[in-house]
Amino acid sequence: MKPRVGIADVAREADVSTGTVSNVFNRPEIVAVHTRNRVLSAIERLGYVRSENARVLRGQPSRIIAVLVHDLTNPYCMTLVQGAEEAARAAGLAVMVYTSPRNTAEEARCLALLTEHEIRGVLITPADTSDDFMAALPRSGIPCVLMDHDARPGRPRVCSVAIDDVTGGRLAVQHLLAAGHRSVGFISGPPHLPQVARRRAGALEAVAHAGLPATALRELDCPAMTVAAGRSAGRRLLNVTNRPTALFCAHDLLALGVLHELNEAGLRVPSDVALVGCDDSAYASSASVPLTSLQRPGRMVGATAVRLLEAETSLPDGEHDHVQVVLTPELAVRRSTAARDAHSSLQHRL
């Protein structure tokens, strides 16, 4: 292990002082061209690399941001991480990943890790359980941006990037209503999830706006966002009187389960039932009938969060107004809601 080559070695090699070498990096404009070139070639020759640790020890801002997500294998979470990583890389920042702490002990360990490394800031998708953690973060002085979650309406103490799920729900149901459906089922996920609640609100808005009674939206609860739960919902659906001709599912996996079950019962998508999923995960496009799906711009959320964090941390303390960004989802239209053919149109008219 060769001893690390430092700024002093470069200085000696280039026959200048350490201060000048430092200036070559930090204020290139104030050092004479020929001196600078001498220094640069010395750096090259010696293969010198700066020590980030010494930099931040000396008080420079850290170049590391942390991303906390619930589950690294969740495709949506990964789009957040991906967006963050891309934006961070472009900004010369490194990304540390961490799965959100699930109990007080983990919270302490996590907080220790973040503070000990003097992280630049944290991007986090808060869980319902982590309210105390969310409170501890600002107390520790670590800047923090919320992802996929709008800050408390009152006075925002942090920045956030959310997705407008109300609009999302509205888009999905409007699309179905525009195709002529008059009865839409909403296959919901766990009811306590705020995202789901907002999609429902949007769905109701669309129904109301079309002049239909609220009962035109029929709800079917699901305990979880899984294929199995979707299958079970699909089975229940088969026995429903006056079955809806279109379904909006709170997640692609639910839609997938429903799709399988409908197919097995001999019903066709989209001719018998139209189907809209949510999240536009790879599942949607790879389903046996490609699913129309509400596309939630996770990558953009991650990237925007990085930018907000950068903005916040490059300003002196207190001079930053916390800002809440809301991104709008789009509907990726695919075969599962294709216009119904003549036969089923006729059927509909009867």
Partner DNA sequence: TTGTAGGCGTTATCAC
Partner DNA sequence: GTGATAACGCCTACAA
Long-range contacts of 38-41 (CB under 8 A, 24+ apart): 38/14, 39/10, 39/14, 41/14
Q: Tell me which stretch binds DNA (CB under 7 A): 23-31, 156-164, 172-180, 336-344.
A: 23-31
CA nearest 275: which of 304, 308, 253, 301?
A: 253
End-to-end CA distance of the chain: 83
DSSP category for residue 284: H
Please tell me whether residue 6 binds DNA under the rule CB under 7 A.
yes
Please tell me whether residue 288 binds its own copies under the rule CB under 8 A.
yes
The SS3 assignment for 195 reads helix
Residue 31 interacts with, from its own copies, DNA, none (CB under 5-8 Å by kind) = DNA
Given CA atoms 183, 184, 188, 193 in this order, what sign does their dihedral have? Answer: negative
Size of the site for DNA (CB under 7 A): 32
The SS3 assignment for 343 reads helix
Two tokens, residue 338: 């294709």
- The owner of tokens 């941390």 is 313
Give me Rg for the CA atoms of the chain. Answer: 27
Rule CB under 7 A: choose which of 37, 41, 60, 347 binds DNA. Answer: 60
Binding pattern to its own copies, positions 44-83, x when CB under 8 A?
-----xxxxxx-xx-----xx-------xx-x--xx-xx-
Residue 26 interacts with, from DNA, its own copies, none (CB under 5-8 Å by kind) = DNA
Residue 7 interacts with, from its own copies, DNA, none (CB under 5-8 Å by kind) = DNA
| Residue 66 · residue 123 · CB < 8 Å | yes
| Residue 263 · residue 288 · CB < 8 Å | yes
Q: Per CB under 8 A, which of residues 223..252 are in contact with its own copies?
A: 227
Please tell me whether residue 30 binds DNA under the rule CB under 7 A.
yes
Q: Which residues pair with 274 in a beta bridge?
A: 246
Rule CB under 7 A: choose which of 1, 32, 105, 350 binds DNA. Answer: 32
Q: Which helix (H) or strand (E) holds 111?
A: helix 104-116
Residue 154 interacts with, from DNA, its own copies, none (CB under 5-8 Å by kind) = none
Please tell me whether residue 51 binds DNA under the rule CB under 7 A.
yes
Residues counted in the chain: 350
Please tell me whether residue 315 binds DNA under the rule CB under 7 A.
no
The pair phi, psi for residue 324, each rounded to 5°, is: -110, 110
Please tell me whether residue 328 binds its own copies under the rule CB under 8 A.
no
Rule CB under 8 A: choose which of 263, 271, 313, 344 binds its own copies. Answer: 263
Q: Tell me which stretch binds DNA (CB under 7 A): 58-66, 82-90, 164-172, 230-238.
A: 58-66
**Helices and strands counted in the chain (H then E):** 14, 12
Rule CB under 8 A: choose which of 70, 117, 182, 320 binds its own copies. Answer: 117
Residue 94 interacts with, from DNA, its own copies, none (CB under 5-8 Å by kind) = its own copies
CB of 94 to its own copies, least distance (A): 5
Please tell me whether residue 23 binds DNA under the rule CB under 7 A.
yes
| Residue 174 · residue 211 · CB < 8 Å | no
Q: Which residues pair with 83 in a beta bridge?
A: none
**Distance of alpha carbon 66 from alpha carbon 57, whole angstroms:** 19
Please tell me whether residue 2 binds its own copies under the rule CB under 8 A.
yes
The pair phi, psi for residue 248, each rounded to 5°, is: -115, 115
Q: Per CB under 8 A, which of residues 81..110 are in contact with its own copies?
A: 81-82, 85-86, 89, 92, 94-99, 109
Positions that interact with DNA (CB under 7 A): 3-4, 6-8, 15-23, 25-26, 30-32, 34-36, 48-51, 54-55, 57-60
Positions that interact with its own copies (CB under 8 A): 1-2, 49-54, 56-57, 63-64, 72-73, 75, 78-79, 81-82, 85-86, 89, 92, 94-99, 109, 112-113, 115-118, 141, 227, 253, 256-257, 259-260, 263, 282-283, 285-286, 288, 317
